[in-house]
Structure 1
Amino acid sequence: MSILQFFPDPGDPTDTTGIPERATFEPFFDEIVGQSTAIKLLQKAIATNRVPNAFLFVGSDGVGKRLTAKCFIQACLCHPLPTETASKCALHIEAGTHPDVLWVEPTFLHSGEFIDVSTAASLELTFKQPPVVRIEQVREIANFLAYPPLSASRQVVVIEGVNSIASTAANALLKTLEEPGNATLILIAANSESILPTIRSRCCVIPFRNLGQQEMCQVLERMGYSQILAYPEIIEMAQGCPGNAIAAWNYLMHIEQIVPGVPSILEFNQATSQLLQVAKTISQKLDFFPQLWLLDYWQFQLWKMKRDRRIIEVLENAKKSLRLAQSQLVFEVCLLKLAENGAS
């Protein structure tokens, strides 16, 4: 018997997804919180055997798009199988070892090689430019799809960070979207506006919403980050995105460990020599992305305290300059201007 269970129910007549409220594929989507519309649309695609050539998962970073893609692939590829085989199939998808699933992430260029974000973090490498999806990766997708599925009924390719795709790679991806063969592509993006209309028009858009505070707490507790709940400013900064909250928490703990007290330095009426020393310490001890997050953190806190556009402009200019100028100089100018504009 298949582990896919579909329970029809009259449901809510106002539901625009066309999927009954209680319709569910268990246990595939149990991990996902707060994305009922997205789940129902994906359920409908499987239930009606009308899975399109391409999906576009759109929503803020950290709201469950990646997890939902994994769950959908498990539901799509594993449910027709006998229970024991289906369980093994799901485990292979979870581990990233399924032969008919290709997962593509944006990469950095380092020493002539492409490395993803997790690899860069493990090697303690930092880059001033964000990772991108490259033409070489799109060619890898085309090569992958040139062969028939090995064990599943179809192949699935997931492309994360489609907002960051290079223009040449985006144009190359169009051909694959037009002729994917026996495959489904899942494109994951923070928004659809920055994606080529020709790519967007070839995809079935699945919207993801930001979570409410109770849902945020539920997700964070489930993921083992209940300590974040004691920091309401992080919850508020995350704006309904558990992933953003976790990233902010990691940055805060990292910065506090290396330069204690710097994140909470919201009184800038110190002597010039003290502010210059703070700028020097930040520049010497923090890498680019923690520095950038620190400016975001100060901006969020100072806006709540002051509601002064001049202060926010100082921090916005500092964030822009950080990619172009020496970081110590950027923080020196920033801290002195904050003191001058009364950010204390």
Structure 2
Amino acid sequence: MIKVKKDNFFLNEEVNTCLNNIIKNKSFANGYIFYGAEGLGKKQTALQFIQEIFKKSSPSKNLEEKIKNNNHPDFLIIEPDSLLETKSSGGSDLEKKTKSGSEIIKIAQIRNIKTFLSQKSINSEKKIVLIIDAHLLNEAASNCLLKTLEEPSNGIFILLTSKLNLLLDTIISRCQIVRFRSFSSQQIKSILKEYLDTSKSNINAKLEFEDLINSANGSPNQLLKNIEIWNDFSDEIIIKLNSPVKNSLEILEISKLISEKLEIFQQISLVNLIQTVWWRKTKNIGLVKKLEKLKYLLRKSIQPRLAWEITFLKISMEDI
């Protein structure tokens, strides 16, 4: 039985009910698409789903660890190429490259699936393939995957995506879609309360809870990331970021600190949080647009420190 663990905020009750019914009835489709915004626990849920499928056919020692470490003989995980290239370079580099927009899933990786499925399963009735960020399949890889899905096999495909519209319609039509919906504000509030009850970290007193909730965009994962990022700064910096910065020297100081302290993906999360706080205080649409432009520049990796400085300086010249 898939359970929502108390220490794991990501798993979705509605999705888990659906997947438990599939396991109980052994009514496995050839393919599943786990679709929803980033940070809703698609990968965590997929790994638990895979674990439960294997448990039913062949319980074994250290099953959870084998799946987590991708060393189960009947399980194959396909990740975008840049993820594979940066595995040895540490977590922050991995995250940074994943968000850079240069990652792709190539046809050679899909051909590996065909080889994997052609071999007899060792420990289980089914072989399972998990494809991370399936929307990053290039054209050749997409067509190859489609042919693989059309061929009879003893495999189950699970595709994870936040961008369903980028998948081939013919791939979508051959899979069962499992929708991950964003959490409501009330659910995010409950998660925040549970985090505060179980965490040793204290949320900076200068930050409104509503700002944390709104900036999470219905994602528990994003909520916790925002808390970590915000708590990483001193009270002095937090106070300055609570409203548009006007002092030129402070702008240079804060821009330098942010660009040195945070990876690009963390900086974008910080912009989202600042945007929420400043909108609540100013209701200035021009300010919001400037922060949107900042996010665009950060995603393009255009000199982050300079991007922060220019944005803050432009905002400081407005009558807010």
Q: Using structure 2 for the length normalisation, give the TM-score.
A: 0.80
- Of 103, 123, 127, which aligns to 1:132? 103
1:58 aligns with 2:35: yes
Match of 1:243 among 188, 210, 221: 221
Quickly say closer, same or farther: Cα 1:229–1:173, change in 2 above 3 A: farther
| Aligned CA distance change for structure 1 residues 106 and 337 (closer, same or farther; 3 Å) | same
Pair 1:138–1:114, CA change in 2 (3 A): farther
1:151 corresponds to 2:126: no
Q: Deviations over 1:236-267 (max 9, x none)?
A: 3223322112222333344x16x961685244
Contact 2:30/2:156 (<8 A) preserved = yes
Report the more deviating stretch, 44-53 or 87-96. 87-96
Report the identity percentage. 25
Alignment of 1:218-237 (within 5 A): 220=195, 225=199, 227=201, 232=209, 233-237=211-215
CA-atom RMSD in angstroms? 3.3
**Match for 1:216 among 187, 191, 197?**
191
Matched position secondary structure for 1:188: strand
Residue 171 of structure 1 corresponds to 143
1:208 counterpart letter in structure 2: F
- Larger helix percent: 2
Tell me if the contact between 1:138 and 1:173 (Cα under 8 Å) persists in the aligned partners.
yes
After superposition, where does 1:153-302 map in structure 2 within 5 Å? Answer: 153-179=125-151, 181-211=153-183, 212-213=187-188, 216-217=191-192, 220=195, 225=199, 227=201, 232=209, 233-254=211-232, 256=233, 261=237, 264-268=240-244, 270-302=246-278
Q: Which runs of 5+ in 2 are unaligned?
A: none
Aligned with 2:166: secondary structure? coil
> CA 1:195 to 1:220, structure 2 compared with 1: closer, same or farther past 3 Å?
farther
Give the SS at the match of 1:73: helix
Q: By how many angstroms is 1:273 displaced? A: 4.2
Deviation at 1:214, TM superposition (A): 5.4
Task: Count the aligned residue pairs.
Answer: 307
Q: CA deviation at 1:57?
A: 0.8
Q: Return closer, same or farther for 1:213/1:288 CA change in 2, 3 Å cut-off.
A: closer
Shift, 1:158, TM fit: 0.9
Distance 2:192 2:115 in 1: 42
Distance 1:62 1:103 in 2: 19
**Larger of the two Rg values belongs to structure:** 1
Residue identity opposite 1:239 in structure 2: N
Equivalent positions of 1:19-30 (< 5 A) are: 26=1, 28-30=2-4
* Structure 2: distance between partners of 1:338 and 1:173: 48
| Separation in 1, partners of 2:199, 2:213 | 12
Q: Deviations over 1:265-322 (max 9, x none)?
A: 2444533344344434444554433332332222121112122111111111122123
Q: Larger relative CO (CA 8 A, sep 6+): 1 or 2?
A: 2
Letter in 1 for 2:71: T
Q: What TM-score do you get using the length of structure 1 for normalisation?
A: 0.75
Distance in 1 (CA, whole Å) between partners of 2:110 and 2:247 is 54
Q: Does 1:121 align with 2:91?
A: yes
Partner in structure 2 of residue 79 of structure 1? 56
1:87: how far off? 5.3
SS, match of residue 66 in structure 1: helix
Cα deviation per residue 1:322-343 (whole Å; 9 max; x = unaligned)? 3163333322221111112234
